[in-house]
Amino acid sequence: MILLCAFIWANTTSASEVDKLSNTESPLFVSPPVFQTSLDSGLSIYYVQNSELPLYEISAYIQGAGRLYQKDLPNGFEDILEIVWLESGTSRLSPEQFKTELANLGAVISVNVWDYTIELKLEALEYQHEKAFELFFDFLRNPVFNDNALQSFKILGSTSREKRNDKSVNVAIREFKQILNNTTQSMYSEDDLNLFTIEMLQNFHQTHVSANRTFLVGNGSKSFMQLTKFIETQLESWKTFIPVVQHDETVVKNVSGEKSWIAMKSPQTTVVIGFVSTPLNHPEKIKIDFVESLLEYSRCDKMMRSTMAISTGCVASHNYYGQMGTFEMRATTQAENTHRLIEAMQTLYADFISHPQITEAELKATKQRFLSQQIYNYNSDFQIAYSAFYNHLFGKPSNYIEQSYEEIKNMTITDVQETIQKYFAPKKINVLVVGDKTGVSSSLLKEFKTRELDKD
Amino acid sequence: MRLYLIILFALMNVFSCSHEDNSVMLFNRVQRIRLDNGLTFLVLPKDRSLAFSSTTMIRAGGIEEGDDENGLAHLYEHLVLQGTTSMSDHDPQIEENLRKQVLDVGTRWLEAKKSHAPQSEVLDLEKQLHDLEEEHSKTFVDREFVKIMNDNGGKDVGANILPDYAIYSTTLPKEKFELWAFLESERLKHGPQFRNYFKELKMIEEERFSRLEGMPDAILLEEFLQSAFEKSPYRNHHLGQLSDLHNLTPQKIREFFEKYYRPDRMVIVLVGGVDSKHIRPTLEKYFGDISSKPSEYTKMPQELHHSQLPISKVIKTHFAERFMIGYAHESITTSIAHMAAFDLLAEYLCSTQHAVLYDDLFLEKKWVSSMSCHPSNPGMRLPSYFTIRGTITKEITNQKVIEHIQKTLEKLMHEGFDDQLIEQAKTKIKADMIFSLRNDDEVADRLAHLTSLFGDWKVFFDYENEIQSLDSKHLQNILKTYFIPQNRVTVTMENDEADTHE
C-alpha cells in the first residue's frame, strides 16, 4: 500500500509540477515610452530609443496611398510600385549610384504597399547612420522611377503569373477573397502589364506623397531630441501638403450560402469555409479575436492534426481589406482525402456554432494562451513604436492594451457563446474547394457550383 | 582622483561604441555554463526582452541514420513533441499497457500490408488498431509538449530536422523559464514515449507529400541530392523515405535516442529575458541528472562526392523551368577560413544589392525571375556543394543560363574580383549579423550552430576577422579549385511540351 502510494505520488508530482509552473501569471505588459511629435510640416514621428543595439529601424508610412487608393489604376499597380520604386534612383543619384551608396553603408531599404499606407523601411547601422537617413529621405521625397526596372517587372511579372497557380492553397486564398469581396483586385493580366508607364508612377508619387501624410515610425540608439532635431534639419524644406482623402468603406458585396469548386490538376486540395464579417474597428473586436483563437487552436487545428493527420493543421483568421473584414477557416490535404476534409470542416463548423460545448478548462487554457501571447506584439522596439502609430491611425485609445486585457480576463463561457452567435453564425456560410475533382462522388459535386481554374 | 577620472573617461572612449564594438559588447555578455554531466548552455541576457528564446541543437540529424533508416530522425522528432508520461495526469501504467498493444497490432498491420496479406486480414488489423488507438488516446493529451508550451504563451514551438542536426526551439514569456526547464529536461531524459506512433507515421507521410509532391523547388532539391551523392548520407532527403519509415521499430528509435541524445552532442542556448546571474541552480535542478554517458562515434562513409562527376540530369515537368548547379567541396567546417570564403562568395555572387549574378541575370538580361546561392548544400558537417539555383523566364533556356554562369565564374577566376564589390559583400555580411541581433531566436540559432560545428561559439570573432582578411586572390583560388565544370552537378527542370526558347 505504501509502495502504491509512493508510486502514485511519484507520477502525479510531475503533472502537478506542470500546473504549478504554468500558474505563474503573465503580468500585463507595460509599454516603454514611445516618443511622439509632429513637425510644422505635419510630418509625425513615433520613436523608441534603445542604445543596446547599434542600429536603426525606421519606416515611413504614407497615409492615403495604399491599395485602397489605387482602385482607378490598372490591376497590379501595387506590385509594380513596390518593385520599380525599389530599383529607382533619386534626383541626385542614378539607380546604380544609389544602390552603391546604400551597399557601402550596409543599409537596406524596402517598399511595401498595404491597404491604407505605403511603407518605406530603412534598416541602418549605427555607423554612418546619418548618411543612410539622407539617402532614405531623398528616396522618399524624390524618386526617379526607372524604365529598365519597369521593363524587368513586365517580364518577371509574366513568370509570376505562371507560378500563381502552382499550389491549391494560393489559388484558394486568392479566389475566396474574390468570392466574398469584389472590391479587391484580382491578379494582373498579361494585358495589364502593358498598361503601366513611368509617368503613371511619377504622377502617383506627386499626388499621394507629402510631408503631412508621412509618419516616421521606429527605433534607434539616438535620443528622441537628437533624432527630431536631425529630421527637422534634413526635411526642413519638405513642406508639401496633400489633404488625406477618406476612403469609402461601403461594403459592396455580402454573399452567403455559396458553395463553389474550382477544379485544377493538383495533388492537394484546399477547403475554405468563411463569410463576410465585422469591420476592423468593431467595438467587440477583441472578443471576436479571442473566439477565433479558440476555434483555430483548440478545435480546428487539433482536429486536423489528430483526426486527419494534416501536418499543416488549420488556419482560422480574419482578413481585412480596409475596414471590411472577412473570416475564413482553411485546411489543405492530399487529393485522395478531399471527401473527408470537406465533411470534417463542415461538421466541425456546424457543431461549433450550434453547440460549442465550451468547458471551463478550455476557456481557461485559451485565455492563458491568448493573454500570454500578447507580449509578442511588444517584444521589439519597432513593434512598440508601430503599435502606438497603429492605434492613432485607427482611432484606438492609448490604453487599448489594458482595456483588452481586462476584457479577456473577464470573459465567461456565456460571453463566448454569445460572441459565436452574434459574429460567427451567419445564416449561410460559404464554402470553396480548390483541387482535382477526379474520383470525387457525383453526389458531393452536385452540392457545388463547379468551374475550371482560369489558366490565364 | 581627477587624473584617475580623466584616465577612466579616456579608457571609456577608447572602448566606446563604434558599430562593431556594440555588437561585440553584446556577445561579450554570453555566459557559458557547463554541468557536471557535460551538458553545455550558452546564456545571453538582453535587458528589454519580455520573452526568452531557446534553441537545443543536437548532432542527431539525418546523417546519423543507418542504412535503410531514412526518416528515423524525423520520426523521432515527431514522437518527442508528443510529450512524456511525467507531464501527464493520467495513469502511466494504463497508458503503457495500451501503448504496447497499439504497437503490437500496428506492427502486424504494417507487416500484413507489406507482405500483401489477404485484404480481410489487413482490414481486420486496421480496425483493431483504430479501436486501440481510440482507447489509448484517452490516456494522454495529443502533442502534450507543444500544447503546454502554447498554453503558456509559447511562440514558434517546434523542431526542425536537418541533415546535420536536430533543432528544438521555442520562445516563451520570461516568467515561464522554470516551466521550460522542466519540460525540456524531461524530454531529453526520457526520449520518445511512442504515443500516436502510427498516426505520426501517417503525419510524416502527409508532410512529405505536402512539402515535396507538387513543390517544384523541393523536387529539384531531392533530385539534386540523389544525383550528387552516392554513399554519403546527404543523398537522402531528411524528411524520410516511406519504405524505410515503415521498416522502423520502436526499438531502433530507442537505440537512436540512447546513442545520440547525449550531453556531449548537445548545446542549449538561451537568449533574451533570462537572469544569467541566478540561472545555474535552475539548470542544475532540472538538467543535472541527465546521464553523462558519452555518445557513440558516428562513422561516416569515406566518399567525398559522387565518383562520376561531372553529372547532368534533366527532369520533365509542367512547372516553370529552373536549374540547380552544385560545385563539390570538402566540409565547410574544415576551417573557419574556409567557411568565411564560401560565405563571402555567396554574398558576392547572389545576395548583395550589386551581386554579380543577380544584377546580370535578373536586372540586365531578365533571364531569371529568382535566384539564390547556398555555400554548403545540404549541410556543413560532411563534404557538400556550393549551389546556385534559379527559375528562368520564357526568354531563355536552362542550358544557356548555366553556360553563362560558368563563363562568368571563369572570368572572375582569371581576371579577378571587383574590390569595391568585395567590400560591399563584407559589409552586408556584417550588417546581416547586426540586424539579426534584434531577434532572440536568430541569435540563439547562430550561437548554437557555431558551438555545434566548431565546439566554441567564440569562433564568431575569428570568422569576422577571416571575412575581413579575404581579398580577390583568395576568392580566385577558391574558384580555380572548386568551380570547374569537372566538379559540377547540374539538374534542370524542363517542360514536357516543346517551348518557344532560343
Q: What residue type is assigned to position B408 of the chain?
A: T
Q: Is the pLDDT of residue A6 over 60?
A: no
Which site among A9, A20, A23, A24 would you substitute to test the B interface, given the most B Cβ atoms closer than 10 Å to its Cβ? A24
* Residue B501's pLDDT band (cuts 50, 70, 90): very low
Give the β-pairing of A117-125 and A214-220.
unpaired
CB B426 within 8 A of CB B348: no
* Residue A191's pLDDT band (cuts 50, 70, 90): confident
**What's the CA gap between B127 and B444, in Å, rounded?**
46
3-state secondary structure at position B41: strand
CB A363 within 8 A of CB A420: no
Which DSSP string do the residues of B479-490 spell out, in sequence order?
HHHH-SGGGEEE
Q: Is the pLDDT of residue A88 over 80?
A: yes
**What's the CA gap between A361 and A359, in Å, rounded?**
5
Please report where in the chains the cell 553529372 appears, as a residue: B311
3-state secondary structure at position B377: strand
Q: B3-38 in b/e burial notation, b at 16+ Cβ within 10 A?
A: eeeeeeeeeeeeeebebeebbbebbeebeebebeeb
Query: Smallest Cα–Cα separation from B153: which of A23, A406, A287?
Result: A23
Please report where in the chains the cell 511525467 appears, as a residue: B86
C-alpha cell at B33: 555554463
Among the partner-chain residues B150, B216, B423, the one whose CB lies closest to the CB of A369 is B150
> Measured between beta carbons, which residues in chain A are less than 8 angstroms from residue B207?
311
Q: Is the pLDDT of residue A161 over 80?
A: no
The whole-number pLDDT of residue A9 equals 45
Residues pairing with B374 in the sheet: B387
C-alpha cell at B401: 543560363
* Residue A185's pLDDT band (cuts 50, 70, 90): low
Give the β-pairing of A143-144 and A55-63.
unpaired
Q: Is A21 on the interface with B (CB under 8 A)?
A: yes
**What's the CA gap between B266 and B382, in Å, rounded?**
18
**What's the CA gap between B360 and B346, in Å, rounded?**
15
Size of interface A-B (CB pairs under 8 A): 196
| Mean pLDDT score, B423-428 | 93
**What's the CA gap between B348 and B357, in Å, rounded?**
8
Q: Kindly identify which residue of chain B lies nearest to residue A149, measuring between CA atoms.
A: B363
Cα B20 to its chain centre, rounded Å, is 28
CB contact under 8 A, A125 and B19: yes
**What's the CA gap between A426 and A432, in Å, rounded?**
16
CB B50 within 8 A of CB A31: no
CB B357 within 8 A of CB B349: yes
Among the listed ranges A249-253, B280-284, B447-451, which one has the minimum average pLDDT value? A249-253
> Measured between beta carbons, which residues in chain A are less than 8 angstroms from residue B20?
127
Q: What residue type is assigned to position B463 of the chain?
A: Y
Tens of pLDDT, residue by residue over B32-73, are: 999 999 999 999 998 778 899 999 999 999 999 988 899 999
Q: Kindly identify which residue of chain B lies nearest to residue A48, measuring between CA atoms.
A: B48
> Measured between beta carbons, which residues in chain B are less than 8 angstroms from residue A14?
86-87, 182, 186
C-alpha cell at A316: 482560422
Angle, CA B262 vertex, CA B261 and CA B268 arms, to 5° = 85
Q: Is B394 on the interface with A (CB under 8 A)?
A: yes
CA distances from B167 to A232, B39, B237 (A): 48, 16, 16
Query: Smallest Cα–Cα separation from B302: which of B276, B326, B328, B330?
Result: B330
* Residue A207's pLDDT band (cuts 50, 70, 90): very high
Beta strands across the sheet bearing B322-329: B311-317, B488-495, B322-329, B384-392, B368-377
Q: How many CB atoms lie within 10 A of CB B218?
A: 16
The whole-number pLDDT of residue B22 equals 56
Q: What residue type is assigned to position A270 of the chain?
A: T
Q: How many CB atoms lie within 10 A of CB B225?
A: 22
Among the partner-chain residues A306, A334, A372, the one whose CB lies closest to the CB of B209 is A334
For chain B, how far is it from start to end, CA to CA, in angstroms?
A: 81
Q: Is the pLDDT of residue B20 over 50?
A: no
Question: A 164-223 residues with CB below 8 A of B?
Answer: 166-167
Q: Kindly identify which residue of chain B lies nearest to residue A309, measuring between CA atoms.
A: B203
Most distant pair of Cα atoms in chain A: their distance:
88
The larger pLDDT score, comparing residue B343 to residue B438, is at B343
Which residues have C-beta within 8 Å of that of residue B418, sequence separation ≥ 6? none
Which residues have C-beta within 8 Å of that of residue B23, sequence separation ≥ 6? A53, A54, B433, B434, B437
Please report where in the chains the cell 509532391 appears, as a residue: B213
Q: Is B242 on the interface with A (CB under 8 A)?
A: no
Give the β-pairing of B322-329 and B384-392.
antiparallel
The larger pLDDT score, comparing residue B81 to residue A21, is at B81
Beta strands across the sheet bearing A430-435: A315-321, A324-334, A268-276, A430-435, A259-263, A449-452
> Measured between beta carbons, which residues in chain A are less than 8 angstroms from residue B420?
100
The interface predicted TM-score of the complex, written ipTM, equals 0.87
Looking at CA atoms only, how far is residue B105 from chain A in angstroms? 19
Helices (H), B232-327: 242-245, 250-260, 279-287
CB contact under 8 A, A306 and B434: no
Q: Which helix (H) or strand (E) holds A53?
A: none
Whether omega for the bond prior to residue B192 falls within 30 degrees of 0, making it cis, is no
Which DSSP string do the residues of B247-273 spell out, in sequence order?
T--HHHHHHHHHHH-SGGGEEEEEEES
Question: A 382-401 residues with CB below 8 A of B?
Answer: 382
CB contact under 8 A, B91 and A11: yes
- Cα dihedral A97, A100, A104, A106, rounded to 10, equals 120
Q: How many CB atoms lie within 10 A of CB B401?
A: 25
**Helix orientation angle between B459-469 and B336-346, rounded to the nearest 10 degrees:** 60
Residues pairing with A262 in the sheet: A434, A451
CB contact under 8 A, A166 and B428: no
The whole-number pLDDT of residue A181 equals 72
Looking at CA atoms only, how far is residue A301 from chain B in angstroms? 12
Q: Is the pLDDT of residue B9 over 70?
A: no
| Mean pLDDT score, B83-91 | 82
> Measured between beta carbons, which residues in chain A are less than 8 angstroms from residue B353?
99, 102-103
**What's the CA gap between A423 and A318, in Å, rounded?**
12
**What's the CA gap between A392 and A285, in Å, rounded?**
17
| Mean pLDDT score, A189-193 | 81
Residues pairing with B51 in the sheet: B173
CB contact under 8 A, A103 and B153: no
Question: B 39-78 residues with CB below 8 A of A?
Answer: 46-51
Q: Is the pLDDT of residue A340 over 50?
A: yes
Q: Kindly identify which residue of chain A lies nearest to residue B137, measuring between CA atoms.
A: A306
Which residues have C-beta within 8 Å of that of residue A216, sequence separation ≥ 6? A43, A44, A45, A46, A47, A58, A59, A60, A231
Helices (H), B332-439: 336-346, 356-357, 398-415, 419-436
The whole-number pLDDT of residue A1 equals 47
Cα A144 to its chain centre, rounded Å, is 29
| Mean pLDDT score, B443-464 | 91
**What's the CA gap between A200 and A202, in Å, rounded?**
6
Which site among A9, A375, A455 would you substitute to test the B interface, given the most B Cβ atoms closer than 10 Å to its Cβ? A375
